[in-house]
Amino acid sequence: MNEKMDDRKLTILNAVIRTYLETGEPVGSRTISKYTDLKLSSATIRNEMSDLEEMGYLMQPHTSAGRIPTDKGYHFYVDQLEENRSSSVEAMNSLLIAKTNRMEEILKKVVKMLALNTNYTTMISAPSVKRNKVKFIQLSRINEKQLLNVVVIDGNVVKNHIIDVKEGISDEQILRLNLLLNTRLNGLSLADINLGLISNIKEEAGDHSDIVSDVLDTIAEVIRAETDENMEIYTSGANNIFRYPELADSQRAAQLITTLEEKEGLADILQSDDDENRGIQVYIGEESPVESMKDCSIGTATYDLGDGMQGTIGIIGPKRMDYEKAMDNLKQVKQSLNDVFKNNSPAD
Amino acid sequence: MNEKMDDRKLTILNAVIRTYLETGEPVGSRTISKYTDLKLSSATIRNEMSDLEEMGYLMQPHTSAGRIPTDKGYHFYVDQLEENRSSSVEAMNSLLIAKTNRMEEILKKVVKMLALNTNYTTMISAPSVKRNKVKFIQLSRINEKQLLNVVVIDGNVVKNHIIDVKEGISDEQILRLNLLLNTRLNGLSLADINLGLISNIKEEAGDHSDIVSDVLDTIAEVIRAETDENMEIYTSGANNIFRYPELADSQRAAQLITTLEEKEGLADILQSDDDENRGIQVYIGEESPVESMKDCSIGTATYDLGDGMQGTIGIIGPKRMDYEKAMDNLKQVKQSLNDVFKNNSPAD
DNA sequence: GTTAGCACTCAATAAAAATGAGTGCTAATC
DNA sequence: GATTAGCACTCATTTTTATTGAGTGCTAAC
C-alpha cells in the first residue's frame, strides 16, 4: 500500500504535470506512454499513476478521466524547479526604467511589463522602509492666510500639506517654528515622537501650538502611509485571467477583479514577510492568503533597494501556470530593480 | 406605411422599454397588454409594436421573439426623461467627503460610492484647470548636496522635486534664487514662460543656472500633468459588469477590463467637452467613443469647482441600464462636489 | 515485473423531440 | 374603421436519448 517514490515514478509524475501545464486537460496513461523515453506500456503507467494518486500527488477529476496534479503535486514540481534552475530570461531593459525617476511611474511600468511578459496578472508593492525617520521639515508662507508644510522622510518620500492660519503669523515666527521643529524632530521615527516630546514642543511653540499639531499630523500621516497596512500597490494585466478558462467564469472572475480593484488582502500576500529573504515564494491553490485566489497560484519575490527599503513583486495565474517562466521573470525583475536603484535615489 | 407617433404608441413604447430595462428579456405583446392601464388586447398591441418597429424604435432579436428597444428607442426614452425629471436621490453624505482633504482620496471615495450606489462601473477625472498659473516656488536646503524644490500652481496642486547640486551653494544664494524665481515666475502660465524669459532668468542666476533649468522642468511637468492628455482618472466597480450577462462573457469582459485598467480612451469620454455645460450627457451603444463600450451606455456629468477647475464623472452600464437612477446619481454627485469645494481648497 | 486484452465508466458531443413564448394574418365583432 | 378572438406558424430553449471515445481497473498471460 504505502508506496515509495522511486525514480520512475518521479519521471512519470513530472511528465504528467508538464503535460497538464500545457494542455489544461487531464492526462491519460496512453499519452504518457508515448511522451516519455522509458518505453513502458500504458498499462504500466496506469499502475504507477494509480500509486501516485494514492500518494497524494495526482487525482482524477472524475472516475474515468486522466489524472491532474493535486496542490501537493504542484508543490513537489515547483520545489524541484527551484533547486536546479538557472534563469534564462534576457535582462529587462533597465534603461527604460532608469529614464523616469518617479517611483510611482517606475513601479507602474515594471508591473505592466511583467504582465506583458508573462501573460499573468501582476502586482507590486511600493518599497517601504522599516523604521521611517523624519529627515526634514519646512514651513513656508504661501500667502497671508496659508502656510505650506513639507515633510521629508527617509527614502526621500515627500509629503506636503497646506495649513490655514486664522491669525497672522510673522515671517520671523515661521523661521522660529522651522528651527524648533527641525531641531526637535529630525532623525526621529514615529515611535520616538511621544506625548512628552509633543507637549514639550507645543509649549515652546507658544501661540502657534496648533500649527505644531498640524505638522505632527502630517508626519504621522506620511509615516503611516509608508507602513505595511496601507501599502501602495499597483496591479496590471487583470484582463489576463480571461486567458485561462478555469478562472474566467463570471463568478470567479468577478471576485478576482474585485480583489484586484479594491486591493483587498493583496498586502497580506505582498508583505515582505521574513527578513530571511529566501528568494521566491510560491503559494499554490488553498495556500493563498486570499479567498478569491484559492484557484490560483501566486509567486512573489522581494526586492531590496538598500537602506532597508523593500517591496514585493507578485504574479497571479492559474494553478497550471508556467512556474518556470513565472519564477524566472520574478527573479529577473527583482534583480533589475535592485540594480537600477543601486546608485539612484529617486524622489516621489 | 409611414406611421405617426401618437399618444398610445408612446405609452406602449415606454412600457416596452421600461419592462425591458427590468427584465433584460424581449417583451411580448401579451405582457404589455396586461402591464398597462389602457385595456387593449395583445393583438392590438401587436399591431402597434409592429408600427413602432417600422419606425425604428423597436426590433426583434429573431423572428418570433418579443421586441427590444433599438439605440434610437433608448435615446427617445432618455431624452424624454431628461425633460421632466426631478432628482430624488437623497443627498450624498457630504461630511464623509469633506473629512479628508486630499483630492485624490476624495475622488477615489466619490467614484467608489457612486459605484456602490448604482451597481455600475464608474469613473471620474481629476479636476484640471484650463490655464494653470504658477503660484509659489520654494527652494530649500535638505543637506549639503541636495535642495528641495516645491512648486505650487493654481488649485493648490503641489509638486516637489529633489535637486542634486554638485558644488556647494550658500544659504544666501538660495535666498536670492528664491526671490528671483518668485518675482519672475509667479502668476505666469506655461505659455507665458518663453525662451526669452528663461534665458533672462538664467543670466541673472549666474552660476546656478542649472538649478533654474531644474526648477523650470518641474514647472513644466506639473502643468503638463494637469493637462487633458494625461488626465488622472479613477475608476471603480469594474466587477459590476458581471452583474449584466450581456457584458459578462469573456470576450467582452476582458476588453472592458483592459480598457478600464489601462484607461484607454477614457479621457475621450471624460473630457469636459464644451463649456456649454448642459448637465448630463448620455452615449448609447454605438455612440460610445470607445470601441470596447459599443455594447454599453455611458452617462457623464461635468462638475465645476470654480476657478475654471472642472472634471467629469461617468457611469458605464449595459444599454438597458436604469437611466433614471444613473442620471439622478450623476446629478447628485455633481452637485455635492460643487458644494463641498465651495469654501474649501484642499491640497493634493 | 510487464503487458495485452477486455469490460466498464462517464463526460462530452450530437441528434431528436418537446415546449412555449411570441408573431402575423384573417375573419368576426363592436 | 378600430378592436379582438382564433389559429397556424416560427424559432430559441429545454429536455431527452443516443453515440462516441478517452480513460480506467482488473485479470491472465508472457
What pLDDT does A146 receive?
86
Q: Is B173 exposed, middle or buried (0-12, 13-18, 19+ CB in 10 A)?
A: middle
What pLDDT does A162 receive?
84
**Which domains does chain B show, CATH number per domain?**
7-83 (1.10.10.10), 94-128+231-342 (3.30.450.40), 134-225 (3.30.390)
What pLDDT does B319 receive?
95
- Judge whether residue B54 contacts strand C, using its CB and a 7 Å cut-off: no
pLDDT tens by residue, A265-287: 898 898 765 555 568 899 999 99
What pLDDT does A346 receive?
42
Cell digits of residue A168: 497672522
What pLDDT does A275 receive?
52
Using alpha carbons only, what angle is made at residue B135 by residues B131 and B136, rounded to the nearest 5 degrees? 150
pLDDT for residue B90 is more than 70: no
Cell digits of residue B120: 455600475
pLDDT tens by residue, A25-43: 999 999 999 878 778 888 9
pLDDT tens by residue, B249-292: 888 899 999 999 999 889 889 876 555 556 889 999 999 999 99
pLDDT tens by residue, A186-239: 888 766 777 778 888 888 888 888 888 888 888 777 766 655 556 789 999 999
Using the Cβ of A257 and the Cβ atoms of chain B, whether some distance falls under 8 Å is answered with yes
pLDDT for residue B97 is more than 90: no
Mean pLDDT computed over B228-234: 74
Note whether B328 and B89 are within 8 A (CB).
yes
Q: In A, residues 56-85, which contact B (CB 8 Å cutoff)?
A: none
Mean residue pLDDT across chain B? 83
HEC string of B211-272? HHHHHHHHHHHHHHHCCCCCCCEEEECHHHHHHCHHHHCHHHHHHHHHHHHHCCCHHHHHCC
Distance A27 CA to D22 C1' (A): 10
What pLDDT does B229 receive?
56
Residue with cell 426590433: B59
What pLDDT does B121 receive?
98
Residue B113: pLDDT band (50, 70, 90) is: very high
Phi then psi dihedrals of residue B299, to 5 deg: -115, 140
CA-based radius of gyration for chain B: 27
Residues of chain A with pLDDT under 50: 1, 94-101, 344-348
- Judge whether residue B170 contacts strand D, using its CB and a 7 Å cut-off: no
B161 contact residues in A (CB cutoff 8 A):
347
Which H or E run contains B58? strand B58-59
Interface test with B, best of A109, A250, A316, A348 (most B CBs within 10 A): A250
pLDDT for residue B68 is more than 90: yes
What pLDDT does B140 receive?
86
Which H or E run contains B300? strand B296-304
Cell digits of residue B303: 462638475
What pLDDT does B100 receive?
42
